[in-house]
């Protein structure tokens, strides 16, 4: 008697091997048989004829650190075939924390990851000081998927050094020793590694770069040594210079290579394509190829930037007429007003109200209005690989109207549900092949979904669906991957990277984290704004079609795209 049998699907086992038609049987949360025409009864059976059966996706770059303390569903990721998430990336998190310093960690997370501070304040029920105590608090909860966490440089530095650490002052020998002890303590409690940010793009709400941005080599080496001493774990970095400075980036790559070679710890870092130097990302892959140490670049599988629409950030948010309407109306009522010609004319004729410097991204519309030659209309369904003729400026020229008027009209498409795309990275000159080349390198992993973060700016938590539906199935404008490769890059590859050897493939004895997917139907809807965060905070979510079932530890958590209410997910302690 099995708990679950998935019958007759094409099993894409995560190893990259060709798919085969087989049944998958599950008992006590584990895969116990994979074979054609299995006999025996099961408490539940899923007919997967004509469907794919894949391992559950392991998303190693998310920011659910706060959300995981109040939300057991962990959307948007749970709707995209993800069965394990790793949070605490980029040096930010909520532990360790000295009593009375909780507010500082909230404003750090809000600044770096654009998560509403009001939602974090209302949602988090603090009850820990140390990182092990934080993990214990997560361990008492049940989720729709498994969760794991890095310990972040920002909280560790601030805990040891107080305001000196927050201001990025140099660490003393004693400071470094104390930080090393805290990292070792976190690793022994089950952290998957240590994360830090060194990019100037990551700043707290007060404008200060993330603690650790300017950490000296001896401080970084000590943190890596603490990870190495635990016998497991990863050193994760948002590196300096990756966005704009070739010489800085080259120096950073040498530094990270030295850390990996000296400690033996896998060093993982973000790699992105920038329009100002479109081939600079090749430096990262060259550095990987020159060393025997383990360097693991994390690649965003689609353009990395902003979604612009009425439900999030846009050009007109500080125009008086819009401010008045948005203060009184919501949803369809607001969109109906915005579609009226007299309202359109009024908003387009107005100047922005003064921005509030205390509000993050307030007044951003004026800057966006200067980039209409780089902002794309996405079409229906959303196209993350739009061609040059789809820029707002090009569409405006074709229609013979002002580009800002064209942006207004394009956001009103599909009853105001449409979004525009502003790619900051990974779409230089409309060239998407760089992403393919980065993903195809044997040492890279597909990551950077940022699930739980940048709530009104993106919904890249849908990236796992995009990897399959675009790179593994639907791409027509260039090179693509086989469906077997597209599955492997976000199952076996990501699970092994983070050190989870019990999942990521469909094999007897492995954890029964599985997806049943109707590939021809697999796709993404437009993101939509929902006010479901604590304190009424707004975020973008993006629905997917084509998921017949998602299974976590042998239990069906989603069926035909809908949450079943089952919560078999738990905290995963690395090294356990």
Residue 61 included in any domain: yes
| Residue-level pLDDT at 430 | 59
Q: Do 419 and 433 have their domain in common?
A: no
Q: Do 508 and 536 have their domain in common?
A: yes
Return averaged pLDDT per consecutive 10 residues of the chain, 576 residues in all. 97 98 98 96 97 98 98 97 98 98 96 94 96 98 98 98 97 98 98 97 93 97 97 96 85 97 97 91 97 97 94 94 95 95 98 88 92 93 91 98 98 93 87 89 96 93 97 89 98 97 98 98 93 94 97 98 98 89
Q: Do 271 and 130 have their domain in common?
A: yes
According to DSSP, residue 130 is labeled S
Residue 12 included in any domain: no
Instruction: Give SS3 for 194.
Output: strand
Helices (H) and strands (E) in the chain, counts: 20, 23
How many structural domains are present in the chain? 2
Return the structure tokens found at 16.
């990259």
Nearest to 125 by CA among 71, 174, 75: 71
Q: Do 508 and 387 have their domain in common?
A: no
Rounded to a whole number, what is the distance in angstroms from the first to the last CA of the chain? 30
Q: Do 472 and 331 have their domain in common?
A: no
| Residue-level pLDDT at 223 | 98
CATH number, domain at 83?
3.20.20.140
| Residue-level pLDDT at 576 | 61
Q: Residue 354: give the domain boundaries.
A: 307-424
Q: Do 120 and 194 have their domain in common?
A: yes
28 backbone dihedrals φ, ψ, rounded to 5°: 55, 40
CA atoms of 277 and 280, how far apart (whole Å)? 6
CA atoms of 171 and 378, how far apart (whole Å)? 47
pTM: 0.96
| Residue-level pLDDT at 383 | 92
Domain stop point among 424, 442, 463: 424
Q: Do 325 and 183 have their domain in common?
A: no
Three-class SS of 422-491: EEEECCHHHCCHHHHHHHHCCCCEEECCCECCCCCCCCHHHHHHHHHHHHHHHCCCCCCCCHHHHHHCCC
Residue 149 included in any domain: yes
Q: Do 312 and 274 have their domain in common?
A: no
Q: Do 526 and 472 have their domain in common?
A: yes
Q: Do 320 and 270 have their domain in common?
A: no
CA atoms of 281 and 379, how far apart (whole Å)? 29
| Residue-level pLDDT at 471 | 96
| Residue-level pLDDT at 193 | 98
């Amino acid at each position: 008697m099995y708990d679950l049998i998935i019958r007759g699907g094409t099993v894409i086992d995560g190893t990259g091997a060709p798919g085969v038609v087989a049944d998958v049987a599950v008992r006590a949360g584990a895969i116990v048989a994979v074979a054609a025409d299995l006999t025996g009864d099961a408490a539940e059976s899923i007919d997967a004829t004509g469907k794919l059966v894949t391992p559950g996706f392991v998303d190693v770059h998310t920011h659910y650190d706060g959300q995981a303390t109040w939300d057991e569903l962990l959307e948007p990721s749970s709707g995209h075939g993800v069965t394990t998430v790793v949070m605490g990336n980029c040096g930010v998190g909520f532990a360790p924390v000295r009593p009375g310093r909780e507010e500082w960690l909230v404003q750090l997370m809000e600044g770096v990851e654009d998560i509403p501070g009001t939602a974090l304040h209302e949602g988090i029920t603090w009850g820990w000081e140390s990182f092990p105590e934080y993990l214990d608090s997560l361990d008492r909860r049940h989720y729709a998927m498994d969760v794991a966490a890095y310990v972040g440089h920002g909280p560790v530095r601030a805990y040891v050094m107080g305001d000196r650490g927050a201001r990025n002052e140099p660490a003393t020998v004693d400071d470094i020793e104390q930080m090393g002890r805290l990292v070792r303590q976190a690793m022994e409690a089950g952290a998957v590694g240590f994360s830090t940010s060194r990019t100037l793009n990551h700043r707290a709400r007060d404008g200060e770069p993330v603690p650790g941005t300017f950490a000296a080599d001896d401080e970084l080496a000590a943190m890596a040594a603490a990870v190495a001493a635990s016998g497991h774990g990863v050193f994760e970095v948002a590196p300096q210079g990756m966005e704009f400075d070739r010489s800085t980036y080259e120096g950073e790559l040498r530094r990270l290579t030295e850390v990996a070679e000296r400690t033996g710890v896998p060093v993982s870092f973000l790699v992105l394509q920038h329009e100002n130097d479109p081939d600079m990302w090749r430096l990262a892959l060259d550095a990987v190829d020159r060393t025997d140490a383990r360097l693991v670049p994390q690649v965003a599988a689609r353009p990395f930037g902003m979604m612009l629409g009425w439900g999030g950030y846009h050009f007109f948010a500080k125009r008086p007429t819009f401010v008045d309407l948005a203060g009184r109306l919501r949803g369809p009522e607001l969109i109906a007003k915005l579609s009226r010609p007299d309202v359109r004319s009024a908003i387009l004729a107005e100047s922005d109200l003064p921005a509030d410097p205390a509000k993050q991204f307030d007044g951003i519309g004026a800057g966006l209005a200067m980039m209409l030659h780089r902002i794309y209309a996405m079409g229906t369904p959303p196209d993350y690989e739009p061609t040059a003729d789809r820029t707002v400026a090009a569409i405006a020229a074709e229609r013979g109207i002002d580009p800002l008027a064209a942006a207004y009209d394009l956001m009103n498409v599909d009853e105001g549900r449409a979004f525009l795309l502003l790619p900051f990275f990974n779409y230089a000159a409309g060239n998407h092949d760089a992403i393919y080349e980065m993903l195809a390198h044997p040492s890279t992993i597909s990551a950077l979904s940022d699930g739980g973060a940048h709530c009104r700016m993106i919904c890249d938590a849908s990236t796992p669906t995009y990897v399959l539906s675009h790179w593994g199935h639907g791409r027509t404008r260039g090179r693509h991957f086989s469906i077997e490769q597209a599955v492997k890059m976000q199952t076996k590859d990501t699970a092994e990277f983070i050190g989870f050897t019990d999942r990521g493939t469909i094999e007897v004895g492995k954890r029964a984290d599985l997806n049943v997917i109707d590939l021809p139907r697999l796709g993404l809807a437009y993101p939509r704004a929902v006010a479901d965060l604590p304190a009424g905070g707004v975020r973008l979510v993006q629905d997917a079609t084509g998921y017949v079932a998602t299974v976590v530890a042998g239990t069906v958590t989603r069926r035909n795209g809908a949450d079943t209410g089952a919560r078999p997910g738990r905290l995963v302690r690395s090294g356990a």
